[in-house]
Chains A and B, each alone.
Chain A
């Protein structure tokens, strides 16, 4: 079974600075998806960024980028130019690529609460 570990329960960053959230995972699969989801207080979870394991190039979405280290099974999220609206719980998640029975579920880490200091 796959597992996802987020070792930083809380992080804080000054507005406009850069912060990196860590995630490690364990799987025996060679191809899979990794995700970072953002869950603002009392609001629904939204997808921040997605990485396909077969792609060597790290995914980037505006101020958000990942550092994907497949051999180390590490998948960190970097937020540049942090903004007050970035304050939220951030969850790292894993999903198999094969969309067969039993392979669609997302496996989440325990989350990192990010606070932005004005």
Chain B
């Protein structure tokens, strides 16, 4: 068990550019979540997947944001036409939803996005 990994750890981009982040969950976990954390705030839910199906999207996820989880393994979060307000830490978490599991969400180290 290598834990949840995210890549890149840091991303600096200019306003208007597109960025893509990757999350690799714990291998047997079937649920994958994306959260956004701005300075001085707790993480806020963005979206989550059950295997490859995206089951819920927060209203925070504007149409410039898109998330995918092809084949139910890793996930990508893309932000198009970035704005300065997109600057934040993007956290990924995974969990195992199965009988007798704790449903605990395990978090990755996050990708810190800075939009200049």
Residues of A within 8 A of B62 (CB): none
Q: Could you tell me if B43 and A106 are in contact, using CB atoms closer than 8 angstroms?
A: yes
* Contact A43 B103, CB 8 Å, known A110-B40, A110-B41: no
In the complex, what distance in Å separates the CA atom of A111 from the CA atom of B37?
Answer: 11
In the complex, what distance in Å separates the CA atom of A4 from the CA atom of B102?
Answer: 22
Residues of A within 8 A of B45 (CB): 105-107
Looking at chain B's contact residues, the main secondary structure is: loop
Q: Could you tell me if B110 and A99 are in contact, using CB atoms closer than 8 angstroms?
A: no
Residues of A within 8 A of B40 (CB): 110-111
- Residue on A nearest B3 in the bound complex, by CB: A44
Question: Among residues 59 to 113 in chain A, which have CB atoms less than 8 Å away from a CB atom of chain B?
Answer: 91, 93, 99, 101-102, 104-111
Residues of B within 8 A of A46 (CB): 107
In the complex, what distance in Å separates the CA atom of A50 from the CA atom of B102?
Answer: 10
B33 CB contact (under 8 Å) in A37, A99, A105: A105
Q: Could you tell me if B109 and A91 are in contact, using CB atoms closer than 8 angstroms?
A: no
How many A residues touch B, CB cutoff 8 Å?
A: 22
Question: Among residues 1 to 30 in chain B, which have CB atoms less than 8 Å away from a CB atom of chain A?
Answer: 3-4
- Residue on A nearest B108 in the bound complex, by CB: A44
Q: Could you tell me if B91 and A45 are in contact, using CB atoms closer than 8 angstroms?
A: yes
In the complex, what distance in Å separates the CA atom of A104 from the CA atom of B34?
Answer: 12
Does chain B have a CB within 8 A of A47?
Answer: yes
* Contact A44 B48, CB 8 Å, known A101-B56, A104-B31, A108-B43: no
* Contact A109 B55, CB 8 Å, known A46-B107, A50-B104, A99-B103: no
In the complex, what distance in Å separates the CA atom of A37 from the CA atom of B104?
Answer: 11
B97 CB contact (under 8 Å) in A43, A99, A105, A106: A99
* Contact A43 B48, CB 8 Å, known A106-B43, A110-B42: no
Residues of B within 8 A of A102 (CB): 56
Does chain A have a CB within 8 A of B80?
Answer: no
Contact surface of B with A, Cβ cutoff 8 Å? 3-4, 31, 33, 35, 40-45, 48, 55-56, 58, 91, 97, 102-105, 107-110
Instruction: Please name the 9 residue pairs, one residue from A and one from B, whose CB atoms are nearest each other, closest first.
Output: A108-B42, A105-B45, A45-B107, A44-B109, A44-B107, A91-B42, A108-B43, A110-B42, A109-B42
Interchain residue pairs with CB less than 8 A apart (8): A37-B107, A46-B107, A91-B42, A105-B33, A105-B48, A105-B58, A110-B41, A111-B42
